[in-house]
């Protein structure tokens, strides 16, 4: 597995190293000893299917004591994956990074605690899967609007589909 730093502290692109032959490929998507340095115990694995291209989910995260780390992977279709640093003591506070994840490129994004996460589907019928380090705690979930003027995220598709819950998130407050 290849870990590549992004512009955000502690956010990595993780690229599996598939073993390819005439049958296809085999690859690891998680190996505990590769994640030991960042302490990523998996307690739950989530899967999300979005039917239509342009669907935005998030951005959101879980607050302490239910903060979670995530390893995002697109297993069908493709997404524009966004990580937003809202950790006030971070050198990269207020910045965001976007990456294309697809079933073809097999790239993953590691999201540490304190980083908001969201994505937009780039194709119809897209599926992501992601292990997390903390159980889902709905009362700990917070988010921001997908079009928040503070972060100015550049989503690749202008015609968006957003849930009522994600539409209702407030603008970011410093």
Active-site annotation, residues: 60, 130
Let me know if 121 is exposed, middle or buried by CB neighbors in 10 A (0-12, 13-18, 19+).
Answer: buried
Q: Judge contact between 135 and 44, C-beta under 8 A.
A: yes
Nearest Cα to Cα of residue 174 among 110, 88, 107, 112: 88
CA-CA-CA-CA dihedral for 94, 99, 101, 105, to nearest 10: -150
Per DSSP, what are the bridge partners of residue 73?
108, 129
């Amino acid at each position: 597995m290849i870990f590549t730093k992004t512009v955000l502290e502690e956010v990595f692109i993780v690229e599996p190293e598939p073993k390819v032959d005439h049958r296809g490929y085999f690859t690891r998507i998680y190996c505990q000893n590769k994640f030991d340095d960042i302490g990523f115990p998996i307690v739950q694995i989530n899967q999300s299917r979005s039917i239509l291209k342009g669907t935005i989910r998030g951005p959101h995260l879980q607050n302490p004591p239910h903060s979670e780390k995530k390893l995002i992977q697109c297993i069908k279709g493709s997404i524009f994956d966004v990580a937003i640093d809202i950790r006030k003591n971070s050198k990269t506070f207020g910045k965001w990074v976007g990456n294309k994840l697809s079933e073809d490129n097999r790239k993953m994004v590691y999201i540490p605690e304190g980083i908001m996460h969201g994505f937009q589907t780039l194709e119809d019928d897209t599926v992501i899967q992601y292990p997390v380090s903390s159980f889902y705690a709905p009362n700990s979930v917070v988010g921001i609007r997908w079009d928040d003027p503070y972060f100015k995220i550049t989503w690749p598709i202008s015609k968006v589909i957003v849930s009522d819950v994600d539409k209702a998130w407030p603008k970011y407050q410093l």
